[in-house]
Amino acid sequence: MEIKVCGPGCPKCHETERIVNEALGEAGIGIIVQKISDFSEIAKLGVFATPAVVIDGKIKCTGKVPSKKDVLSWLK
Amino acid sequence: MKTTEKINSCGCDGGVCALSAPVSQKKITMQQLSLGFAGLAAWYVLYLQLLPFSNFFAYHLLQLDQGSHLGASIQFFVYDTPKVMLLLTLIVFVVGMIRSFFTPERTRMILAGKRESAGNVLSALLGTVTPFCSCSAVPLFIGFVQAGVPLGVTLSFLIAAPMVNEIAVVLLYGLLGWKIAALYMATGLAVAIIAGWVIGRLHLEHHIEEWVREIRMGEQIIVEEKLSWHDRMRMGGEAVKDIVGKVWLYVVAGIAVGALIHGYVPENFMAAIMGKDAWWSVPAAVLVGIPMYSNAAGIVPVVQALLSKGAALGTVLAFMMSVIALSLPEMVILRKVLKPTLIAVFIGVVGAGILFTGFLFNLII
Protein backbone atom coordinates (compact mmCIF):
# COMPACT_ATOMS: atom_id res chain seq x y z
CA MET A 1 0.00 0.00 0.00
CA GLU A 2 1.15 3.50 -0.79
CA ILE A 3 -0.12 6.42 1.25
CA LYS A 4 0.38 10.05 0.32
CA VAL A 5 -0.63 13.10 2.30
CA CYS A 6 -0.79 16.23 0.15
CA GLY A 7 -0.46 19.72 1.55
CA PRO A 8 1.80 22.75 1.29
CA GLY A 9 2.52 22.72 5.00
CA CYS A 10 -0.33 24.49 6.74
CA PRO A 11 -1.37 23.38 10.24
CA LYS A 12 -4.22 21.28 8.84
CA CYS A 13 -1.81 19.32 6.67
CA HIS A 14 0.36 18.46 9.66
CA GLU A 15 -2.73 17.46 11.56
CA THR A 16 -3.75 15.15 8.72
CA GLU A 17 -0.32 13.56 8.60
CA ARG A 18 -0.43 12.98 12.34
CA ILE A 19 -3.85 11.34 12.20
CA VAL A 20 -2.86 9.09 9.31
CA ASN A 21 0.24 8.02 11.18
CA GLU A 22 -1.78 7.32 14.29
CA ALA A 23 -4.24 5.24 12.32
CA LEU A 24 -1.40 3.29 10.73
CA GLY A 25 0.02 2.59 14.15
CA GLU A 26 -3.33 1.42 15.42
CA ALA A 27 -3.88 -0.85 12.44
CA GLY A 28 -0.37 -2.22 12.89
CA ILE A 29 0.66 -1.29 9.37
CA GLY A 30 4.28 -0.36 8.97
CA ILE A 31 4.23 1.92 5.95
CA ILE A 32 5.91 5.27 5.76
CA VAL A 33 3.54 8.04 4.78
CA GLN A 34 4.74 10.12 1.87
CA LYS A 35 4.35 13.81 2.46
CA ILE A 36 3.72 15.65 -0.82
CA SER A 37 4.22 19.37 -0.50
CA ASP A 38 5.25 20.28 -4.02
CA PHE A 39 2.33 21.94 -5.79
CA SER A 40 3.03 20.41 -9.17
CA GLU A 41 3.22 16.96 -7.59
CA ILE A 42 -0.07 17.61 -5.82
CA ALA A 43 -1.69 18.69 -9.06
CA LYS A 44 -0.42 15.62 -10.89
CA LEU A 45 -2.25 13.47 -8.38
CA GLY A 46 -5.46 15.22 -9.37
CA VAL A 47 -5.86 16.95 -6.03
CA PHE A 48 -7.01 20.54 -5.89
CA ALA A 49 -8.00 21.06 -2.32
CA THR A 50 -5.57 20.37 0.48
CA PRO A 51 -5.01 18.62 2.81
CA ALA A 52 -5.70 15.46 0.86
CA VAL A 53 -5.07 11.77 1.46
CA VAL A 54 -4.28 9.53 -1.49
CA ILE A 55 -4.07 5.79 -1.01
CA ASP A 56 -2.79 3.62 -3.87
CA GLY A 57 -3.43 6.43 -6.31
CA LYS A 58 -7.03 6.93 -5.19
CA ILE A 59 -8.08 10.21 -3.59
CA LYS A 60 -9.74 9.43 -0.32
CA CYS A 61 -10.22 12.85 1.11
CA THR A 62 -9.70 16.43 -0.02
CA GLY A 63 -9.87 19.81 1.65
CA LYS A 64 -10.40 18.41 5.08
CA VAL A 65 -8.67 16.75 7.98
CA PRO A 66 -10.09 13.23 8.06
CA SER A 67 -11.08 11.56 11.29
CA LYS A 68 -9.04 8.62 12.49
CA LYS A 69 -12.08 6.42 12.05
CA ASP A 70 -12.27 7.40 8.38
CA VAL A 71 -8.60 6.67 7.84
CA LEU A 72 -8.87 3.28 9.52
CA SER A 73 -11.72 2.31 7.23
CA TRP A 74 -9.62 3.20 4.16
CA LEU A 75 -6.81 1.01 5.38
CA LYS A 76 -8.91 -2.11 5.39
CA MET B 1 9.86 23.76 -9.04
CA LYS B 2 10.08 23.31 -5.33
CA THR B 3 7.45 25.01 -3.37
CA THR B 4 7.70 23.87 0.16
CA GLU B 5 7.86 26.78 2.53
CA LYS B 6 5.60 26.92 5.49
CA ILE B 7 2.30 28.61 5.26
CA ASN B 8 0.81 29.52 8.54
CA SER B 9 -2.03 31.81 7.77
CA CYS B 10 -4.73 29.57 6.62
CA GLY B 11 -8.45 29.92 6.91
CA CYS B 12 -9.47 26.44 5.97
CA ASP B 13 -12.99 25.24 6.23
CA GLY B 14 -14.60 21.92 5.63
CA GLY B 15 -14.04 19.71 2.63
CA VAL B 16 -15.07 16.27 1.50
CA CYS B 17 -14.04 12.88 2.60
CA ALA B 18 -15.32 9.60 1.42
CA LEU B 19 -17.57 9.11 4.39
CA SER B 20 -16.95 5.76 5.82
CA ALA B 21 -18.59 5.56 9.17
CA PRO B 22 -21.80 3.70 8.55
CA VAL B 23 -24.73 5.93 9.26
CA SER B 24 -27.32 4.13 11.25
CA GLN B 25 -30.31 6.19 10.25
CA LYS B 26 -30.63 7.46 6.74
CA LYS B 27 -33.78 9.45 7.32
CA ILE B 28 -34.44 12.13 9.83
CA THR B 29 -36.78 10.81 12.45
CA MET B 30 -39.55 12.79 14.12
CA GLN B 31 -37.50 12.76 17.28
CA GLN B 32 -34.53 14.41 15.61
CA LEU B 33 -36.77 16.95 13.95
CA SER B 34 -38.39 17.96 17.21
CA LEU B 35 -34.96 18.07 18.82
CA GLY B 36 -33.88 20.48 16.11
CA PHE B 37 -36.87 22.72 16.71
CA ALA B 38 -36.35 22.63 20.46
CA GLY B 39 -32.73 23.63 19.86
CA LEU B 40 -33.80 26.54 17.66
CA ALA B 41 -36.35 27.70 20.22
CA ALA B 42 -33.79 27.51 23.02
CA TRP B 43 -31.37 29.44 20.85
CA TYR B 44 -33.95 32.18 20.27
CA VAL B 45 -34.94 32.47 23.93
CA LEU B 46 -31.30 32.71 24.92
CA TYR B 47 -30.74 35.35 22.26
CA LEU B 48 -33.57 37.50 23.61
CA GLN B 49 -32.10 37.42 27.11
CA LEU B 50 -28.75 38.87 26.13
CA LEU B 51 -29.50 42.57 26.20
CA PRO B 52 -31.38 42.58 29.52
CA PHE B 53 -28.70 40.35 31.00
CA SER B 54 -25.83 42.60 29.90
CA ASN B 55 -27.57 45.64 31.40
CA PHE B 56 -28.25 43.74 34.59
CA PHE B 57 -24.68 42.49 34.75
CA ALA B 58 -22.98 45.84 34.20
CA TYR B 59 -25.32 48.23 35.99
CA HIS B 60 -26.81 46.14 38.78
CA LEU B 61 -24.47 43.31 39.57
CA LEU B 62 -21.29 45.36 39.19
CA GLN B 63 -23.10 48.58 40.11
CA LEU B 64 -21.41 50.64 37.46
CA ASP B 65 -22.83 53.99 36.40
CA GLN B 66 -24.96 53.95 33.26
CA GLY B 67 -22.95 56.69 31.62
CA SER B 68 -19.48 55.65 32.80
CA HIS B 69 -16.71 54.55 30.43
CA LEU B 70 -16.14 51.31 32.26
CA GLY B 71 -19.85 50.54 32.45
CA ALA B 72 -20.36 51.16 28.74
CA SER B 73 -17.36 49.01 27.85
CA ILE B 74 -18.39 46.11 30.05
CA GLN B 75 -22.03 46.18 29.01
CA PHE B 76 -20.93 46.21 25.37
CA PHE B 77 -18.60 43.28 25.88
CA VAL B 78 -21.04 41.18 27.87
CA TYR B 79 -23.78 41.79 25.31
CA ASP B 80 -21.83 41.43 22.10
CA THR B 81 -19.66 38.42 22.82
CA PRO B 82 -22.44 35.88 23.44
CA LYS B 83 -24.60 37.48 20.77
CA VAL B 84 -21.96 37.07 18.11
CA MET B 85 -21.07 33.56 19.26
CA LEU B 86 -24.73 32.51 19.12
CA LEU B 87 -25.18 33.95 15.64
CA LEU B 88 -21.94 32.42 14.50
CA THR B 89 -22.88 28.96 15.75
CA LEU B 90 -26.24 28.99 14.01
CA ILE B 91 -25.01 30.36 10.70
CA VAL B 92 -21.88 28.22 10.56
CA PHE B 93 -24.06 25.18 11.12
CA VAL B 94 -26.44 26.13 8.33
CA VAL B 95 -23.63 27.10 5.97
CA GLY B 96 -21.82 23.87 6.83
CA MET B 97 -24.88 21.99 5.64
CA ILE B 98 -25.16 24.10 2.49
CA ARG B 99 -21.49 23.54 1.78
CA SER B 100 -21.98 19.80 1.82
CA PHE B 101 -23.66 20.31 -1.56
CA PHE B 102 -20.69 22.15 -3.03
CA THR B 103 -17.23 20.70 -3.27
CA PRO B 104 -14.28 22.25 -5.08
CA GLU B 105 -14.54 19.32 -7.50
CA ARG B 106 -18.15 20.01 -8.31
CA THR B 107 -17.56 23.75 -8.58
CA ARG B 108 -14.82 23.08 -11.07
CA MET B 109 -17.13 20.93 -13.12
CA ILE B 110 -19.82 23.61 -13.13
CA LEU B 111 -17.39 26.34 -14.16
CA ALA B 112 -15.49 24.32 -16.75
CA GLY B 113 -17.86 24.94 -19.62
CA LYS B 114 -18.63 28.55 -18.76
CA ARG B 115 -17.61 31.59 -20.70
CA GLU B 116 -16.73 34.96 -19.24
CA SER B 117 -19.36 37.39 -17.92
CA ALA B 118 -21.91 34.79 -16.83
CA GLY B 119 -18.95 32.70 -15.71
CA ASN B 120 -17.66 35.54 -13.52
CA VAL B 121 -21.01 35.94 -11.80
CA LEU B 122 -21.41 32.22 -11.23
CA SER B 123 -17.83 31.89 -10.10
CA ALA B 124 -18.11 34.64 -7.49
CA LEU B 125 -21.35 33.16 -6.17
CA LEU B 126 -19.85 29.68 -5.97
CA GLY B 127 -16.83 31.20 -4.23
CA THR B 128 -19.02 32.15 -1.32
CA VAL B 129 -20.41 28.63 -0.76
CA THR B 130 -17.59 26.33 -1.82
CA PRO B 131 -15.39 25.18 1.04
CA PHE B 132 -12.11 26.89 0.43
CA CYS B 133 -8.85 27.27 2.20
CA SER B 134 -6.28 29.89 1.31
CA CYS B 135 -3.50 27.33 1.32
CA SER B 136 -5.50 25.39 -1.27
CA ALA B 137 -5.47 28.41 -3.56
CA VAL B 138 -2.63 27.06 -5.69
CA PRO B 139 -3.88 23.52 -6.30
CA LEU B 140 -7.33 24.95 -6.89
CA PHE B 141 -6.00 27.49 -9.38
CA ILE B 142 -4.17 24.75 -11.27
CA GLY B 143 -7.26 22.55 -11.22
CA PHE B 144 -9.47 25.32 -12.60
CA VAL B 145 -7.03 26.38 -15.31
CA GLN B 146 -6.52 22.76 -16.37
CA ALA B 147 -10.25 22.25 -16.63
CA GLY B 148 -10.45 25.17 -19.02
CA VAL B 149 -11.99 27.68 -16.63
CA PRO B 150 -10.96 31.12 -17.99
CA LEU B 151 -8.38 33.04 -15.95
CA GLY B 152 -10.73 35.90 -15.10
CA VAL B 153 -13.44 33.50 -13.96
CA THR B 154 -10.95 31.65 -11.75
CA LEU B 155 -9.85 34.93 -10.21
CA SER B 156 -13.45 35.95 -9.51
CA PHE B 157 -13.66 32.80 -7.44
CA LEU B 158 -10.41 33.48 -5.63
CA ILE B 159 -11.46 37.04 -4.77
CA ALA B 160 -14.96 36.16 -3.59
CA ALA B 161 -14.03 33.06 -1.59
CA PRO B 162 -12.22 34.76 1.28
CA MET B 163 -14.03 38.10 1.10
CA VAL B 164 -17.69 37.15 1.07
CA ASN B 165 -18.04 34.44 3.65
CA GLU B 166 -20.50 33.54 6.33
CA ILE B 167 -18.30 34.73 9.17
CA ALA B 168 -18.01 38.25 7.73
CA VAL B 169 -21.72 38.42 7.02
CA VAL B 170 -22.76 37.12 10.45
CA LEU B 171 -20.50 39.51 12.28
CA LEU B 172 -21.63 42.47 10.21
CA TYR B 173 -25.23 41.49 10.78
CA GLY B 174 -24.75 40.94 14.49
CA LEU B 175 -22.80 44.10 15.15
CA LEU B 176 -24.02 46.52 12.51
CA GLY B 177 -27.38 45.30 11.27
CA TRP B 178 -28.63 43.54 8.17
CA LYS B 179 -28.38 46.54 5.87
CA ILE B 180 -24.64 46.83 6.20
CA ALA B 181 -24.26 43.05 6.00
CA ALA B 182 -26.26 42.98 2.76
CA LEU B 183 -24.37 45.96 1.41
CA TYR B 184 -21.06 44.31 2.13
CA MET B 185 -22.14 41.07 0.51
CA ALA B 186 -23.45 42.77 -2.61
CA THR B 187 -20.45 45.02 -3.09
CA GLY B 188 -18.01 42.24 -2.26
CA LEU B 189 -19.56 40.08 -4.95
CA ALA B 190 -19.59 43.02 -7.37
CA VAL B 191 -15.88 43.66 -6.80
CA ALA B 192 -15.10 39.97 -7.34
CA ILE B 193 -17.21 39.75 -10.50
CA ILE B 194 -15.99 42.98 -12.07
CA ALA B 195 -12.33 42.60 -11.12
CA GLY B 196 -12.31 39.05 -12.52
CA TRP B 197 -14.03 40.21 -15.69
CA VAL B 198 -11.60 43.10 -16.20
CA ILE B 199 -8.58 40.85 -15.73
CA GLY B 200 -10.12 38.41 -18.19
CA ARG B 201 -10.48 41.23 -20.75
CA LEU B 202 -6.82 42.10 -20.38
CA HIS B 203 -5.81 38.68 -21.73
CA LEU B 204 -2.96 38.01 -19.36
CA GLU B 205 -2.98 34.24 -19.73
CA HIS B 206 0.69 34.25 -20.73
CA HIS B 207 1.50 35.67 -17.28
CA ILE B 208 0.58 32.41 -15.66
CA GLU B 209 3.74 30.51 -14.76
CA GLU B 210 4.72 28.07 -17.51
CA TRP B 211 4.89 25.04 -15.28
CA VAL B 212 1.20 25.38 -14.48
CA ARG B 213 0.23 25.02 -18.11
CA GLU B 214 2.66 22.20 -18.71
CA ILE B 215 1.33 20.02 -15.94
CA ARG B 216 -0.74 17.12 -17.02
CA MET B 217 -3.06 17.04 -14.18
CA GLY B 218 -4.13 13.64 -13.08
CA GLU B 219 -7.77 13.18 -13.87
CA GLN B 220 -9.51 11.84 -10.87
CA ILE B 221 -12.99 12.08 -9.71
CA ILE B 222 -13.34 11.60 -6.04
CA VAL B 223 -16.00 9.09 -5.26
CA GLU B 224 -18.77 11.15 -3.84
CA GLU B 225 -21.05 9.12 -1.77
CA LYS B 226 -24.66 10.00 -1.53
CA LEU B 227 -25.05 12.05 1.58
CA SER B 228 -28.15 11.78 3.65
CA TRP B 229 -29.57 14.72 5.58
CA HIS B 230 -28.16 13.09 8.62
CA ASP B 231 -24.66 13.28 7.11
CA ARG B 232 -25.16 16.89 6.11
CA MET B 233 -26.23 17.79 9.62
CA ARG B 234 -23.19 16.02 10.92
CA MET B 235 -21.07 18.07 8.55
CA GLY B 236 -22.78 21.21 9.81
CA GLY B 237 -21.92 20.18 13.35
CA GLU B 238 -18.33 19.53 12.37
CA ALA B 239 -18.13 22.95 10.75
CA VAL B 240 -19.32 24.55 13.99
CA LYS B 241 -16.75 22.67 16.02
CA ASP B 242 -14.06 23.51 13.54
CA ILE B 243 -14.77 27.14 12.71
CA VAL B 244 -16.25 28.40 15.95
CA GLY B 245 -13.50 26.58 17.81
CA LYS B 246 -10.95 28.45 15.75
CA VAL B 247 -12.37 31.94 15.51
CA TRP B 248 -13.85 32.46 18.96
CA LEU B 249 -10.62 33.88 20.28
CA TYR B 250 -10.48 36.43 17.46
CA VAL B 251 -14.08 37.35 18.10
CA VAL B 252 -13.52 37.87 21.81
CA ALA B 253 -10.31 39.82 21.23
CA GLY B 254 -11.95 41.89 18.51
CA ILE B 255 -14.96 42.68 20.67
CA ALA B 256 -12.69 43.54 23.59
CA VAL B 257 -10.86 46.09 21.43
CA GLY B 258 -14.23 47.28 20.18
CA ALA B 259 -15.50 47.58 23.76
CA LEU B 260 -12.50 49.69 24.77
CA ILE B 261 -12.98 52.00 21.81
CA HIS B 262 -16.71 52.04 22.49
CA GLY B 263 -16.28 53.10 26.09
CA TYR B 264 -13.21 55.30 26.05
CA VAL B 265 -12.67 56.88 22.66
CA PRO B 266 -14.69 60.08 22.41
CA GLU B 267 -17.58 60.34 19.97
CA ASN B 268 -16.51 61.69 16.58
CA PHE B 269 -12.87 61.08 17.35
CA MET B 270 -12.55 59.23 14.06
CA ALA B 271 -14.55 61.74 12.07
CA ALA B 272 -11.54 63.92 11.29
CA ILE B 273 -9.29 61.18 9.97
CA MET B 274 -11.78 58.60 8.70
CA GLY B 275 -14.82 60.75 8.13
CA LYS B 276 -16.60 61.61 4.93
CA ASP B 277 -14.84 64.91 4.43
CA ALA B 278 -11.41 63.37 4.45
CA TRP B 279 -11.45 62.11 0.84
CA TRP B 280 -7.91 60.81 1.10
CA SER B 281 -8.90 58.45 3.90
CA VAL B 282 -10.35 55.91 1.43
CA PRO B 283 -7.11 55.33 -0.52
CA ALA B 284 -5.19 55.49 2.75
CA ALA B 285 -7.45 52.82 4.26
CA VAL B 286 -6.99 50.58 1.20
CA LEU B 287 -3.21 51.05 1.17
CA VAL B 288 -2.95 50.25 4.85
CA GLY B 289 -5.32 47.31 4.49
CA ILE B 290 -3.68 45.50 1.56
CA PRO B 291 -0.58 44.13 3.28
CA MET B 292 -2.48 43.47 6.49
CA TYR B 293 -4.08 40.14 7.02
CA SER B 294 -6.85 39.30 9.37
CA ASN B 295 -9.88 37.15 9.00
CA ALA B 296 -13.34 38.60 9.20
CA ALA B 297 -13.74 37.50 12.80
CA GLY B 298 -11.00 39.80 13.99
CA ILE B 299 -11.72 42.81 11.86
CA VAL B 300 -15.48 43.31 12.13
CA PRO B 301 -15.63 44.30 15.82
CA VAL B 302 -12.91 46.88 15.16
CA VAL B 303 -14.86 48.10 12.15
CA GLN B 304 -17.93 48.54 14.30
CA ALA B 305 -16.05 50.52 16.87
CA LEU B 306 -14.56 52.79 14.20
CA LEU B 307 -18.00 53.39 12.73
CA SER B 308 -19.51 54.27 16.07
CA LYS B 309 -16.87 56.93 16.54
CA GLY B 310 -17.66 58.79 13.38
CA ALA B 311 -15.64 56.99 10.71
CA ALA B 312 -17.43 56.97 7.36
CA LEU B 313 -19.03 53.72 6.19
CA GLY B 314 -17.34 53.69 2.78
CA THR B 315 -13.91 54.21 4.28
CA VAL B 316 -14.41 51.46 6.83
CA LEU B 317 -15.84 48.98 4.33
CA ALA B 318 -12.95 49.67 1.98
CA PHE B 319 -10.54 49.04 4.82
CA MET B 320 -12.25 45.79 5.75
CA MET B 321 -12.37 44.52 2.18
CA SER B 322 -8.74 45.25 1.50
CA VAL B 323 -7.67 43.55 4.73
CA ILE B 324 -9.66 40.39 4.01
CA ALA B 325 -9.46 40.14 0.24
CA LEU B 326 -5.90 41.23 -0.44
CA SER B 327 -3.12 40.16 1.83
CA LEU B 328 0.59 39.65 1.66
CA PRO B 329 0.45 35.94 2.58
CA GLU B 330 -2.08 35.25 -0.16
CA MET B 331 0.03 37.08 -2.73
CA VAL B 332 3.03 35.01 -1.70
CA ILE B 333 0.99 31.87 -2.28
CA LEU B 334 -0.39 33.06 -5.61
CA ARG B 335 3.07 34.14 -6.77
CA LYS B 336 3.83 30.46 -7.30
CA VAL B 337 1.38 30.30 -10.18
CA LEU B 338 1.18 33.91 -11.34
CA LYS B 339 4.02 36.03 -12.68
CA PRO B 340 4.72 39.37 -10.96
CA THR B 341 2.95 41.38 -13.67
CA LEU B 342 -0.24 39.45 -13.16
CA ILE B 343 0.04 39.74 -9.37
CA ALA B 344 0.44 43.50 -9.75
CA VAL B 345 -2.55 43.71 -12.08
CA PHE B 346 -4.55 41.59 -9.67
CA ILE B 347 -3.77 43.84 -6.70
CA GLY B 348 -4.31 46.93 -8.84
CA VAL B 349 -7.69 45.91 -10.24
CA VAL B 350 -9.11 44.54 -6.99
CA GLY B 351 -7.71 47.54 -5.07
CA ALA B 352 -9.32 49.91 -7.56
CA GLY B 353 -12.64 48.12 -7.19
CA ILE B 354 -12.48 48.44 -3.42
CA LEU B 355 -11.47 52.08 -3.70
CA PHE B 356 -14.43 52.77 -5.95
CA THR B 357 -16.78 51.02 -3.50
CA GLY B 358 -15.44 53.15 -0.65
CA PHE B 359 -15.90 56.42 -2.52
CA LEU B 360 -19.34 55.38 -3.73
CA PHE B 361 -20.64 54.73 -0.22
CA ASN B 362 -19.15 57.85 1.20
CA LEU B 363 -20.90 59.74 -1.57
CA ILE B 364 -24.37 58.23 -1.33
CA ILE B 365 -24.76 57.48 2.37
CATH of the domain at A67: 3.40.30.10
Q: Is the peptide bond before B139 cis (omega within 30 degrees of 0)?
A: no
User: How many domains does chain B contain in total?
Assistant: 1
Kindly list the distances between the CA atom of residue B164 and the CA atoms of A38, B172, B278, B340, in Å, as whole numbers in the listed order: 29, 11, 27, 26
| DSSP line for B117-162 | THHHHHHHHHHHHS---GGGHHHHHHHHHHTT--HHHHHHHHHHHH
Question: CA torsion sign, A18 to B294 to B235 to A45?
Answer: negative
pLDDT tens sequence across A22-73: 999 988 888 888 888 888 888 888 887 888 899 888 888 887 788 888 888 8
pLDDT tens sequence across B169-203: 888 888 888 888 999 999 999 999 999 999 999 99
Report d(CA B340, CA B106) in Å as an integer.
30
Kindly list the distances between the CA atom of residue B194 and the CA atoms of B121, B248, B341, in Å, as whole numbers in the listed order: 9, 33, 19
State mean pLDDT over B31-49. 86
User: How many domains does chain A contain in total?
Assistant: 1
Taking alpha carbons only, the member of B197, B109, B193, B104 closest to residue B150 is B197
- At A59 the three-state DSSP class reads strand
Are B227 and B179 in contact by the 8 Å Cβ rule? The answer is no
| In a domain? residue B158 | yes
The pLDDT-based confidence of B278 (bands split at 50, 70, 90) is confident
Q: Which domain holds residue B247?
A: 31-220+228-364
Q: Which domain holds residue A24?
A: 3-75
Report d(CA B189, CA B155) in Å as an integer.
12
| In a domain? residue B1 | no
Is A39 in contact with B336 (Cβ distance < 8 A)?
yes
Number of A:B CB contacts under 8 A? 132
- At B338 the three-state DSSP class reads strand
The predicted model scores a pTM of 0.81
The pLDDT-based confidence of B17 (bands split at 50, 70, 90) is low
Per DSSP, what are the bridge partners of residue A5? A35, A53
| In a domain? residue B11 | no
**Residue A40 DSSP class:** H
pLDDT tens sequence across B227-259: 778 888 888 888 888 888 878 888 888 888 878
Angstroms from B132 CA to nearest CA on chain A: 8
Task: Tell me the one-letter amino acid at B201.
Answer: R
A22 touches chain B (CB under 8 A): no
Task: Tell me the one-letter amino acid at B75.
Answer: Q
Report d(CA B19, CA A12) in Å as an integer.
19
B112 touches chain A (CB under 8 A): no
ipTM given for this complex? 0.80
